[in-house]
Structure 1
């Protein structure tokens, strides 16, 4: 399945509402799609934050009805949250009926309303009306409570700019912005001013929603997160060192999830974040650590903004490691271009954050059923300044506690792609009678080549040869292969993802993979299929960096 199809189901998947067949499809896709894994992690983090946001005792069955009777005509249910990233394909997400809405909202609605009811009685909120705030409460705290805190401190800006076409009005109501993110809240209205039931605006496939500076230089080419409720919808943009004055651009040609409709809307909204910039403090750290694996970690700084605290890290490679990566890329592929080297240099890191009492308040990974804290999902980007394209910038945000705390960042380990020492030799003619199996002990994975036959490239429709492969074990992502004849000649091998999937079984993860072989007229009598890389974890780093307090 494609990304847009998976992302329609991720929220229900996180809440364990998907069927067994859907789980197989989703988990198969996640194994090889980093962007969707990030979205899954964000949704999982939202669930944690929601639970922490309303730490109330269980309410009586009639509590919600009693509160809602006092709040009529406001709706008694919350709408689902829809999330998309700027890497989404050119397809729209679909909305769900109330019966399909996530357990998250059903579980949290009563407690959320209780929190709002108490807060409203105390006059805490800065939103113009209680109705507006209750409509946006869940979507605003989805992901991080910092946005709510920023609004309470007056960093939200009423906008109320609109564009109308085909009898429908796009109205941008409010913006919350600081140096870490910008959230724009909008509605779609009919000719009578009523809010439409379908507020979905895709930010791809001809629609452009982006941020620039006053000179028109693009700062963010698309929102990372889209949230939608019954009465309001949000677009969220991540920011890194923005100027004081921004411009939010809407250039829209269509909207709607179930039945896309045409509408030409153009809005250029100036946003001044000077106030939040003044309230933001950047504390340099500049701690450097070189791991034994040749990765250089630099803890650059901590940014204290109104809506979140952000940790900025960079990773790069030592000269020796860069040389090794070139050799790793050249050995199986013969290529030493930057993209190939980066592929072999793919890495991630594992960490946890402890407070002054030694309690773990955040970490990169949690075991099943383990109590989860303030999980931080780091996003990454290459150095666009051209100083060093191998430098990766990592940004991870979290909402600090209400009380002062002393935190320490601990780097636990890294995961690298390294050359795999595994191959399977076989005779294409004999596969019909006897498939070939071999076990890779390091992965605890058994691979079986079941067939090799003439086929068609699904994209170019050119004749190719296909290899049918199965695996069983502990594999957690789709493997990449190289194919050689007995003289060492290499053939280009690609994965047909339309026919490739992974699923869990009582015996382990089951892999079914179809490989496409190009540039081969007729298979030779003997071929060798070689695994390209294997993920290796090194979990003994223990680099500790005190996180400086908010000055």
Structure 2
């Protein structure tokens, strides 16, 4: 899925927005996972946002392990002020790579009135969103069937599935012969508006939705609870506007409005207030606040809060490692210190948990770690949305996780599976490249064991497949395997330096598995961007690692409401 505000985010980063527009953009990024993810990617890469691109051969699969793809991009000279601007957003979003979870998209679901559509689309999509499927099959989908034609292209809005938490619009884009035009993110620009029947704007800041292709359909998805909760009244109906200004790369005007009924879905909603909390041994309070169930999703609200003890621990680590942020240095264009690079890894706190029924059967599982799906294998029946809001300069974070709707009037138990925290690592490896060209080189450092198995120089700028992966731009490729320290599930903030003390950005493609003893094994490649000549030695290092704490022993029984 792609957020509607991606282009606006690019303008923010390169300083093309007014102060008012920039303020609105910052507010949007605080709540939009797509833009937060793009912001984290940009921060990690250290590149000029306007030039970012992912080769077409790399997967963009947000229903699997997001951000695991090697993002191979060219490195131009950064704009003078984008780094400073990115700091503002990153302070607010504070999303580390390990907490950016898989997004399960809405999928393509419709009401029973479109039986052939249901049969052909729902059955054909892998990883279908079971929550939205249930909502559609129970009659919470609404036929729209409105069309607009311009430039020989027709936009057909077929149907909407909506409730007080989220909405999905199912549409098709066809040419003058009625042939479907495949979705390409760079060739479409769409905007959504929301109003009450009396004309009051419901989402005046705009944006926040995403769009992508599911089967034969263009699906525009929006977590509407974020602005509906600001409404002064409980809405029975809202007027949705779809305004497309570019389709299939052609500029034009495809604009329509239609009413969306919320009364039936709102009447079926209920909220289970829980309000239980748990203090971890690490000075972090985890609170299970409430669970709101609507036809398409049960929305779990959790909160993590630092205690003073945790704040002191983090400050001590920063001081010991020289990672205290100095704002006067960070404001200098082009300066991106280790202190700023590692800051968000302390702020972010990841959780993994399961929900079981009275018979002990796991009905849902959530894991914040992108590595977790392979390592813990507890993700189950997760659906959109995943949203969060940062408070108190990163010391308190509200998480909204979506799972398939829980049954009414039933007893369940919330079980905390794992806590993820970032910590300093200080791993270093010096590799004699001549030796690496002939044989494997194994380095043991900081309880990690890395085995490097080759060295290849890519001398062309274009895309080229080398081994199992496709790379863009010049650089050096080093395949590796690794065994991580006990309890560690991933390493972050990598860099490389040659024997001339020249620093390089290091990109990675990794896969993970856990052995019988619980240690994590990694295999993948390093891509050292812009390294064009073979050095005598290469030094690799990373500054941070993610530690998984299991056995939290926190369980919360709760009973869902029987209102629906």
Instruction: Indicate whether the TM-score tops 0.5.
Output: yes
User: Is contact 2:147-2:157 (8 Å) kept?
Assistant: yes
CA–CA separation in structure 1 for the residues paired with 2:167 and 2:497: 51
* Match of residue 512 from structure 1: 525
Q: Where in structure 2 are the equivalents of 1:272-287 lying within 5 Å?
A: 272-287=261-276
How has the CA–CA distance of structure 1 residues 405 and 414 changed in structure 2, closer, same or farther, with 3 Å as cutoff? Answer: same
Instruction: State the superposition RMSD in angstroms.
Output: 5.1
2:389 maps to 1:407: no
How has the CA–CA distance of structure 1 residues 131 and 395 changed in structure 2, closer, same or farther, with 3 Å as cutoff? Answer: same
User: Is contact 1:224-1:238 (8 Å) kept?
Assistant: no
* Match of residue 358 from structure 2: 356
TM-score for the superposition, normalised by structure 2: 0.60
* Match of residue 267 from structure 1: 256
CA–CA separation in structure 2 for the residues paired with 1:136 and 1:431: 50
2:450 maps to 1:446: yes
State the 1:438 CA deviation: 2.5
State the 1:170 CA deviation: 1.0
2:204 to 187, 197, 217: 217
Give the gaps of 5 or more residues in structure 2.
1-52, 72-95, 327-338, 463-473, 516-520
CA–CA separation in structure 2 for the residues paired with 1:533 and 1:26: 17
SS of 2:359's equivalent? coil
* Match of residue 471 from structure 2: none
User: Is contact 1:212-1:218 (8 Å) kept?
Assistant: no
1:2 to 51, 54, 58: 54
SS of 2:225's equivalent? coil
* Match of residue 52 from structure 1: none
User: Is contact 1:168-1:263 (8 Å) kept?
Assistant: no
* Match of residue 207 from structure 1: 189
* Match of residue 21 from structure 1: none
* Match of residue 102 from structure 2: 38
* Match of residue 215 from structure 2: 228
How has the CA–CA distance of structure 1 residues 492 and 283 changed in structure 2, closer, same or farther, with 3 Å as cutoff? Answer: farther
2:165 maps to 1:156: no
CA–CA separation in structure 1 for the residues paired with 2:476 and 2:205: 44
CA–CA separation in structure 1 for the residues paired with 2:497 and 2:273: 51
SS of 2:102's equivalent? helix
CA–CA separation in structure 2 for the residues paired with 1:481 and 1:373: 28
State the 1:296 CA deviation: 2.0
User: Is contact 2:155-2:172 (8 Å) kept?
Assistant: yes
How has the CA–CA distance of structure 1 residues 28 and 517 changed in structure 2, closer, same or farther, with 3 Å as cutoff? Answer: closer
CA–CA separation in structure 2 for the residues paired with 1:135 and 1:275: 27
How has the CA–CA distance of structure 1 residues 247 and 547 changed in structure 2, closer, same or farther, with 3 Å as cutoff? Answer: farther
2:382 maps to 1:376: yes
SS of 1:480's equivalent? strand
* Match of residue 99 from structure 1: none
State the 1:172 CA deviation: 1.4
Report how many residues are paired. Answer: 432
* Match of residue 403 from structure 2: 398
Q: Which protein has greater RCO, CA pairs closer than 8 Å, 6+ apart?
A: 2
2:542 maps to 1:531: yes
Query: What is the CA deviation profile of residues 80-117 of structure 1, one whole-angstrom value per residue up to 9, with x for unaligned ones?
Result: x799xxxxxxxxxxxxxxxxxxxxxxxxxxxxxxxxxx
TM-score for the superposition, normalised by structure 1: 0.62
How has the CA–CA distance of structure 1 residues 328 and 152 changed in structure 2, closer, same or farther, with 3 Å as cutoff? Answer: same
User: Is contact 1:173-1:185 (8 Å) kept?
Assistant: yes
How has the CA–CA distance of structure 1 residues 513 and 482 changed in structure 2, closer, same or farther, with 3 Å as cutoff? Answer: closer
Larger radius of gyration: 1
State the 1:418 CA deviation: 1.0
Give the gaps of 5 or more residues in structure 1.
15-24, 47-80, 84-124, 459-464
Q: Where in structure 2 are the equivalents of 1:296-307 lying within 5 Å?
A: 296-307=285-296
CA–CA separation in structure 1 for the residues paired with 2:376 and 2:315: 40
Q: Where in structure 2 are the equivalents of 1:130-529 lying within 5 Å?
A: 130-138=115-123, 143-191=128-176, 195-198=178-181, 200-202=182-184, 207-210=189-192, 212=194, 214-215=200-201, 216-218=203-205, 220-223=207-210, 226-229=213-216, 232-241=217-226, 242=228, 243=231, 244=235, 246=238, 248-256=240-248, 260=249, 263-329=252-318, 331=321, 333-335=323-325, 340-364=342-366, 374-376=380-382, 380-383=386-389, 389-400=394-405, 405-424=410-429, 438-440=443-445, 442-443=447-448, 445-446=449-450, 471-474=480-483, 477=490, 479-481=492-494, 494-495=505-506, 497=507, 500-502=508-510, 509-515=522-528
CA–CA separation in structure 1 for the residues paired with 2:406 and 2:315: 45
User: Is contact 1:144-1:398 (8 Å) kept?
Assistant: no
User: Is contact 1:376-1:397 (8 Å) kept?
Assistant: yes
SS of 2:147's equivalent? strand
State the 1:407 CA deviation: 0.9
CA–CA separation in structure 2 for the residues paired with 1:369 and 1:456: 36
CA–CA separation in structure 2 for the residues paired with 1:27 and 1:340: 19
User: Is contact 1:250-1:267 (8 Å) kept?
Assistant: yes
State the 1:528 CA deviation: 7.2
Choose 337-346 or 272-281, whichever is displaced more: 337-346
User: Is contact 1:423-1:529 (8 Å) kept?
Assistant: yes
User: Is contact 1:325-1:341 (8 Å) kept?
Assistant: no
How has the CA–CA distance of structure 1 residues 185 and 512 changed in structure 2, closer, same or farther, with 3 Å as cutoff? Answer: closer
User: Is contact 1:380-1:392 (8 Å) kept?
Assistant: no
